[in-house]
Every structure is written in C-alpha cells, then in structure tokens.
Structure 1
Amino acid sequence: MLDIAEELDRWVGQGRDFAVATVVAVGGSAPRQPGAALAVDAGGTAVGSVSGGCVEGAVYELCRQALEDGGTVLERFGYSDEDAFTTGLTCGGTIDVLVTPIRAQDPVRPVAAAALAAAARGEATAVARIVRGPAGLLGRALAVRPDGSYQGGFGAHPELDRTVAAEAGALLDAGRTGTLEIGERGSRCGSPLTVLVESSVPPPRMIVFGAIDFASALVRVGAFLGYHVTVCDARPVFATRARFPEADEIVVEWPHTYLERTSVDARTVLCVLTHDVKFDVPLLKVALRLPVAYVGAMGSRRTHLDRVERLREAGVTEPELARLRSPIGLDLGARTPEETALSIAAQIVADRRGGSGVPLTGAHLPIHHDGTPAGPVPGLRVS
C-alpha cells in the first residue's frame, strides 16, 4: 500500500472510497514482492500493480467487490495449465493477496490515512496489518512512527498492539518489509496471527565523488533507480548545477571532509570516480569504515593495486579493503559514460539483491532473490 502512497494520499484528501489489494506473501517465481499494491476507487480508477499484469483483472474485481460489501478477503493466485493466461501466474509462482476496503465508514481508514500521509511526505512510517487469523481481525491495522508511537490497533488486546508496534518499529528502522508470525499465546485472541509490516523510508542515498562525465551518466541512472543523488567535488568549476541537472544535491568540498560530516546508513552507496590519489586515499579511508551498503572506486587495475597499497600504508585493514569494489562495476565491456554507469548500477543492484551478475540464460539460478538485506524478510516469529 505504501508503494503507491502519493496517489492514495490524494484520494484520501479528495474523500474517495477505495479498496487496496496488497501482496502479503510470494512463493516461487513471482514478479512483485510483499507490499506491492493495486488500489481501485469507487469510480473504477485503478493505480498500482500486484503482479505485473498476470492477475490484475481478477484482483481488480476483488477490489470492486470489497467496495460493495465491505469485506476483507485473502486470496491466493498460482500457476495452473488451465488458467495460466486468465487468472494464473504465467511465471510459475504463487502470490497471496489481501484485499481491504478503505471507505469513509471503515475503522481502518484513519490508520491508513495517517500512514499514507507520512509516506507521501517522505517521512519514515510503517503500517502493520493482520493478514491471517480470525476473520474479524483481517485487515485490522496500526501505523507505526520512528519514535515507537503508533496509531490504531487490532482490537484484540493492548499487549498485542504493543508487541506488533515494537517489532514493526525494528523493521522500520531497517527500512524493511516483512511478516510477523505471532503464536496463539502471544496473539491474545486464541489463534495464531500473521501480520504484514510495510515500511516506507526516505530514498536511499547515492553519493558520487568526482564531477566528471561518467558521474553525469551515473547521476541519471541513480535517479532512475530511486536514489537521492549527491555529487561531491572539491573543484567548483566542475561541480555545477548546469553539469548535473538531475542531481538532488551538489556539494563543493573535499570529498573526505564531506563524508565525515554527512549522514549515511546501511542503504547508502558511495561511488568514487575521482581516480586521483589525493582525493581517493583519504576518502576511501573514511568510506571503508562506514556502515554503508556499497563502496566502489573507478580506475584501472594498475590504479587499483597502487591505491590498495597506499590505503594499507594509511592504516586500512584487510577486512576493510575487502569491502572495496574496484575496479568499479561489472564486466559489460562498457566504453561510454552511459555504459559505464550501467555497469556500476548493475553491480550495486547485484550487491543489494544478492545476485551473481552472471547471465540468466543457461544458468540454473533463481531469477528473484529473497531474504537479501534490502528485500522482504522471512516471517519473524513472536511468542
């Protein structure tokens, strides 16, 4: 639901009734992950997607039905030879979809409205919804803020609300979407529960050091991938808005001093394109000691070997050096700035999603990787 927060927040502001279908679990090869949503308003307008097209028509009709009768339903869609091209998943996987009406009279609406408004403003927020359990609790929700406070509840027991809010806060802190499996004892309602926690956090950062032509192409690719992109260079003649119109931020400062003072987290990617030792060594000495997702540095293999020796002399340890992706990018045979940016972005995605970077053709490898640091988490059991 939070993946289409901006549009749904507008619908709430316009007083529209709508129903939301949310992917709550996937099995095998499936095109969308938990949290992906399709919404349909009372006029029949639809936004979002749950399957990339495979089962959209059937889910659309479930949303229309939910708007009419006010019922929340959990439906499984899977592959079968008979209906693969009607309501089945032609990719061979299964998805469980929760359909929830969010009308003016529905108790879930204020909770959904609060979470959608926060996500639309770019603020960190999470929404937790019961997706398996007693019929009367399906779709019940609470919205969780970064400070641990929450709005709404499940109507079963205050302790259940507090437990889910705490676990949802941990997922929110990590920027992750996943499910909580709550045992019969912990649920306080006489039945085990499955709770989907959707997290919406500000875009991850990509910081590009070195205002060169390759950086301009990488900025465009980074923006396309949804990163908040910063360009940093100590040379004001090169670090300009005219050269990097698609950057969210341009900083004229020595790279290592900027990196020492700016905020980074476990989703941040750092791309060092300066390939000049006076910039690279002090910058990488800082970068390789930060809890970021990716550190890559441009340069030839000879440049890389020289840079590594200089970093060792500067006190960088072997485990720290092992984090360095250099020469930067995957082997695509790239020549142009755009091709090089693509190879860098491909390596970042592979690192983020746990991919191997090898061709899928002829390889007996999963197309979709689960359980990676940036993706959905498996069910977390709460006693």
Structure 2
Amino acid sequence: MLDITDGLRAWCAAQRDFALATVVAVSGSAPRGPGASLAVDDRGTALGSLSGGCVESAVHELCLDAIASGKGGVHRFGYSDEDAFAVGLTCGGVLDVLVTPVRRHDPVRPVIGSVLDAAAGGRRVALARVVSGPEPQLGRALAVHADGAHEGGLGGGAALDRAAAAQARALLLAGRTGTAELGTAGGLCGEPLTLLVESAAEPPRLIVYGAIDFAAALTRIGAFLGHRVTVCDARPVFATPARFPDAHEVVVDWPHRHLAAEWDAGRLDARTAVCVLTHDAKFDVPLLELALRLPLAYVGAMGSRRTHAERDRRLRDEGVPQAALDRLRSPIGLDLGGGTPEETALAIAAELTAVRYGGSVLPLTGTRGPVHRTRTKVP
C-alpha cells in the first residue's frame, strides 16, 4: 500500500470510497512481493499494480464488489495448466491477495489515513493487517509507530493489539515488510492469526566518497533506485551541489571523519552502502579501516587491481582483520565491460543490488528456477 501513498491520500482528502488489494503472500515466480497494492475507487479508477498485468482485471472487479458490499477477503491467483487463458500468473507463481473495503465509515479508514499521513511526512510507521484468521477479523488494521504507540485495533482486545504492535514495531525498526504470527489472545494463545506488516522507513543510505565524474553518475542512478544519496569530499572546489544536483546532500569533510560522525549520530544502519571512489590512499585507508569495521550492507572501493593490492597491504598494516577485508568489494562493481562514468555507475549499482537481494549475477538465460525471487522487502 505504501507504494501508492500519494494517490491514496488524495482519495482520502476527497472523501472517496475505495478498496485496497494487497499481495500478502507469494510462492513460485511472481513479479512483485508482499506489500504491492492495487487500489480502486468508487468510480473505477485504479492506482498501483499487483502483477504487472496478469491479474489486475480480476482484482479490479473484486475491489468494486468490496466497495459495494463492504466485505473483503483473501483471494488466490495461480497459473492454470488446463486453461492457459484463465485468470492467473503466466509466470507460474501464486499470489494471495487481500481485498479490503476502505469506505468513509469503515473502521479501517482512519487507521490507513494515519499511516499514509505519517509515511508522507517521512515518519517511521507500520501498517499491520490481519490476512489469516477468524473471518470477522480479516482486514482489521493497526497503525504502529516507531515509539510503540499504536492506533486502531484487530478486533481481539487490548492484549492482542499490544502483542501485534510489538511484532510490527520489530519489523518496522528493521525496515522490513513481512508477516508475523500470533494467536487471537495475544502471544501464541488462541486461534492462529497472521499479520502482514508493511513498514515505511527512511530510504536506505548511499554515501559516495570522492567528488569525481563517476560519482555524479553513481549519484543519479542511486537516487533513481530509491537511495538517500550523500556525496562527501574534503575538497570544497569539487564538492558542490551544482556538480551533484541529484544528491540529497553534498558535504565537505574528510571522508573518515564524516563516516564516524554519521555512525555516532545513529544515521547509518545495516542497509547503508558506502562507495569509495577517491582511490587516494590518504583518503581511502582511514575511511575503509572504519567502514569495514561497521555493520554496513555494502563497502566498495574504486581502483585498479594494483591499487587494490596496495590498499589491501596498507589496511593490513593498520590491523584490519581478514574477515573485515573479505567484505570489501574492490575493484568495485560487476564486470559488465563498460568504461564510461555511466556504465561504471551501472556496474556498481548492479553489484549493490545483487548483494542486497542475494542475486546470482548470472544471466537469467542460463539459470533455472523462478525469475522473480520471493523476498522480504527491505525499503
């Protein structure tokens, strides 16, 4: 749902009735994962996508029915070998889709409105919805904030809401969208209940050290991929906003000092990627010595193999252990064969994406298994 926040907020402001269809589970190959949503208003207007077109028409009708009847539910869509033209996923996967009416007087409406407003304002928030359990509770929702405060209710009492809020907050603080299991009495007691928790967290950080032309290209593609991009260089003549218009911030500072300050301030996490493009030992060595000791998602450094060998020797001399050195992606990027700043930026972004999702980096033509991986979303 959080991928169509702006459109849904506009509908809420206009007092439009709508229904929300959200992917709650995926098996096999499917284009999009849990949390992907399609919304349809009372005029038939649609926002978002569930499958890239495979099941949208059928789900559109289900949404209109939910608006008219006030009743939702979970629907399964898969491929039919007997009838290739049946509604389903031609890629062979299976989608479970929760359809929820969100009309002006439905109890879920203010909960969803609160989540949308918080997400639009850049505040951490999670939406927990019942996707499996007693029928009267299906689609019931809870808005959960980073401090543990919550709004709404799952229809099972205060103990259930507290237990659900605790599980949703854990996913929120990890920046994850996923499912949580508990019982209708809270904890593991009562009838089993499954929640889909959608987390709205700050975008992952991409910090580019070295204000060079390759950095400008990497900044563009990093912002396009949804990162919050920082460019940092100790040389004020190069580190200017005019040279990096796609960066969210441009900082003039020594790289290792900047990274230390960001870590101490709590602005980095396990999703943060650091790309070192300076290939100058006086900048690289103290920066990498620190970066490789921090629990970051990705640390890469530009340079030739000769540069890498010399940098590796210097880092060993500084006492960086082998386990930390093994985390360094250097020379940075995948071997795509290109050499321009844009092609190099693409190679770096491809490696970063593969590391993030555990991709094989092999051509899909020569691999087997699902094309679309089932994964827990990391915003």
Q: Normalised by the shorter chain, which TM-score bucket?
A: over 0.9
Cross-structure match for 1:374: 378
CA RMSD of aligned residues (A): 1.6
Does residue 335 (structure 1) correspond to residue 339 (structure 2)? The answer is yes
Task: Provide the C-alpha distance between the structure 2 equivalents of 1:256 and 1:116, rounded to a whole number of angstroms.
Answer: 37
What do the CA deviations read for 1:3-62 (whole angstroms, capped 9, x no partner)? 211221222122211110000000100111000000111121111111111101111111
Which shows bigger deviation, 272-281 or 2-11? Answer: 2-11
Task: Provide the C-alpha distance between the structure 2 equivalents of 1:122 and 1:83, rounded to a whole number of angstroms.
Answer: 46
Task: Provide the C-alpha distance between the structure 1 equivalents of 2:118 and 2:351, rounded to a whole number of angstroms.
Answer: 32
What do the CA deviations read for 1:74-111 (whole angstroms, capped 9, x no partner)? 10000013554452101100000000011111001111
Task: Provide the C-alpha distance between the structure 1 equivalents of 2:281 and 2:301, rounded to a whole number of angstroms.
Answer: 11
Which shows bigger deviation, 88-97 or 42-51? Answer: 42-51
Which shows bigger deviation, 241-250 or 77-86? Answer: 77-86
**Which residue identity does 1:363 align to in structure 2?**
T
Which shows bigger deviation, 190-199 or 102-111? Answer: 190-199
Does residue 103 (structure 1) correspond to residue 103 (structure 2)? The answer is yes
Contact 2:142–2:150 (8 Å) recurs in 1:
yes
Secondary structure class of the residue paired with 2:365? coil
Distance of aligned partners of 1:133 and 1:288 in 2 relative to their CA distance in 1, 3 Å threshold: same
Map residues 1-383 of structure 1 onto 2, 5 A cutoff.
1-183=1-183, 186=186, 190-262=190-262, 263-371=267-375, 374=378
Distance of aligned partners of 1:227 and 1:188 in 2 relative to their CA distance in 1, 3 Å threshold: closer
Contact 1:16–1:103 (8 Å) recurs in 2:
yes
**Which residue identity does 1:236 align to in structure 2?**
P
Task: Provide the C-alpha distance between the structure 2 equivalents of 1:117 and 1:80, rounded to a whole number of angstroms.
Answer: 40
Query: What's the CA shift for 1:288?
Result: 0.8
Secondary structure class of the residue paired with 1:122? coil
Distance of aligned partners of 1:187 and 1:252 in 2 relative to their CA distance in 1, 3 Å threshold: closer
Distance of aligned partners of 1:200 and 1:252 in 2 relative to their CA distance in 1, 3 Å threshold: same
Which shows bigger deviation, 235-244 or 168-177? Answer: 235-244
Task: Provide the C-alpha distance between the structure 2 equivalents of 1:140 and 1:27, rounded to a whole number of angstroms.
Answer: 24
**Which residue identity does 2:304 align to in structure 1?**
S
Contact 2:156–2:184 (8 Å) recurs in 1:
no
Query: What's the CA shift for 1:367?
Result: 2.4
Distance of aligned partners of 1:218 and 1:264 in 2 relative to their CA distance in 1, 3 Å threshold: same
What do the CA deviations read for 1:194-250 (whole angstroms, capped 9, x no partner)? 111111111111010001111111011101100011110111111112211111110
Contact 1:187–1:193 (8 Å) recurs in 2:
no
**Which residue identity does 1:14 align to in structure 2?**
A
Task: Provide the C-alpha distance between the structure 1 equivalents of 2:84 and 2:300, rounded to a whole number of angstroms.
Answer: 43
**Which residue identity does 1:107 align to in structure 2?**
P
**Which residue identity does 2:378 align to in structure 1?**
A
Aligned residues: 375
Contact 2:33–2:377 (8 Å) recurs in 1:
no
**Which residue identity does 1:338 align to in structure 2?**
E
Distance of aligned partners of 1:303 and 1:9 in 2 relative to their CA distance in 1, 3 Å threshold: same
Contact 2:115–2:127 (8 Å) recurs in 1:
yes
Task: Provide the C-alpha distance between the structure 2 equivalents of 1:110 and 1:187, rounded to a whole number of angstroms.
Answer: 26
TM-score (norm 2): 0.95
Task: Provide the C-alpha distance between the structure 2 equivalents of 1:133 and 1:272, rounded to a whole number of angstroms.
Answer: 49
Contact 1:156–1:189 (8 Å) recurs in 2:
no
